[in-house]
Structure 1
């Protein structure tokens, strides 16, 4: 997985966990750390002080620690994330090259294991998508959409939309 793919993956995890996106400096910090840069180099490229970059990095490491459930800092960031990705993709392909997965197992047992993992991933993705849809409802209401319009756009039932609207009040 290249640094950009890893950053995108982490951004999606953070957003699904918090409902908020990381900012451009935090993205630059992730990319910089993955490329072995020091905070001074990152701050120079981003046109901010080293202290500001360090402060934002501290916030980012706390956010990632909370999201991933492990203590993360600059020195253990890459190893921790790679280990977590390897754990999530256990038994599939070459973990060193996560972006080149082998979905052609050699035995029927391997196929069953991969089906379980793929089904688990589908359930996780569906749950994240549903959570994101639910979090979007109040913003769509503020834009003046009706429950029926929101239900059609988000592919949810009108009853579910109304239930969420009422619970937000």
Structure 2
């Protein structure tokens, strides 16, 4: 998986969590951080100020933290991605100081017990669709009178995530 594919993967995760895609500056920030760039260098390439880049990066780290359930910032981004990917039983191998390829090595797939037809990429897609479906179910459960806590428990989502969705949709 190259850095563009990783950014696309993270964009899909964020979209399934927030309903919004990352913008082009945020994509540049992710790629730049993966390649060890400083915010000033990313800003220069994107033709904006360092301050604006830092502000957008802060928002991006917050969204990624909420989406992945881990505290993420510039300094721990690469390690956190490795850990999160590792939770899905992938190993991430970075072979150079500049990341242009990420190789995923499978170990075992406990979520794919007997069905050998599902490959890891398919499982990621399935998980993403399941999360999106859960998020789309929240408004109907609110209309049925369930509390935030009940919805979170039923859908196996965090109370914070359910509250965000309800607030964003003015339910």
Report which of the two has the higher share of strand: 2
Report which of the two has the higher share of helix: 1
Contact 2:42 2:53 survives alignment (8 Å) = yes
Q: How many residues are aligned here?
A: 125
| SS of residue in 2 equivalent to 1:115 | coil
Give, in whole Å, the separation in 2 of the partners of 1:57 and 1:68. Answer: 16
Q: For 1:12-63, what per-residue CA distance to the aligned partner results, in whole angstroms no more than 9, with x for missing partners?
A: 1000000001111111100110111100000001010000000100111111
User: How far does residue 6 in structure 1 lie from its aligned partner after superposition?
Assistant: 1.1
Give, in whole Å, the separation in 2 of the partners of 1:29 and 1:95. Answer: 20
Give, in whole Å, the separation in 2 of the partners of 1:71 and 1:125. Answer: 21
Contact 1:19 1:132 survives alignment (8 Å) = no
Q: Is 1:65 aligned with 2:62?
A: no
Contact 1:26 1:60 survives alignment (8 Å) = yes
| SS of residue in 2 equivalent to 1:85 | helix
Equivalent in the alignment of 2:12: 12
Q: For 1:54-99, what per-residue CA distance to the aligned partner results, in whole angstroms no more than 9, with x for missing partners?
A: 01001111111111111100000011011111211x1x6x54321x
Q: Is 1:78 aligned with 2:75?
A: no
Equivalent in the alignment of 1:105: none
TM-score (norm 2): 0.61
Contact 2:15 2:21 survives alignment (8 Å) = yes
Give, in whole Å, the separation in 2 of the partners of 1:39 and 1:31. Answer: 11
Contact 2:17 2:132 survives alignment (8 Å) = no
Map 1:90-101; keep pairs closer than 5 Å: 90=89, 95-96=92-93, 97-98=103-104, 101=106
Q: Is 1:127 aligned with 2:130?
A: yes
Equivalent in the alignment of 1:43: 43
Structure 1: where are the runs of 5+ without partners? 103-109, 136-167
Give, in whole Å, the separation in 1 of the partners of 2:52 and 2:36. Answer: 19
Give, in whole Å, the separation in 2 of the partners of 1:113 and 1:65. Answer: 25
| SS of residue in 1 equivalent to 2:40 | helix
Q: For 1:118-165, what per-residue CA distance to the aligned partner results, in whole angstroms no more than 9, with x for missing partners?
A: 599375244145458779xxxxxxxxxxxxxxxxxxxxxxxxxxxxxx
Larger radius of gyration: 1
TM-score (norm 1): 0.62
Equivalent in the alignment of 2:22: 22
Structure 2: where are the runs of 5+ without partners? 94-102, 139-169
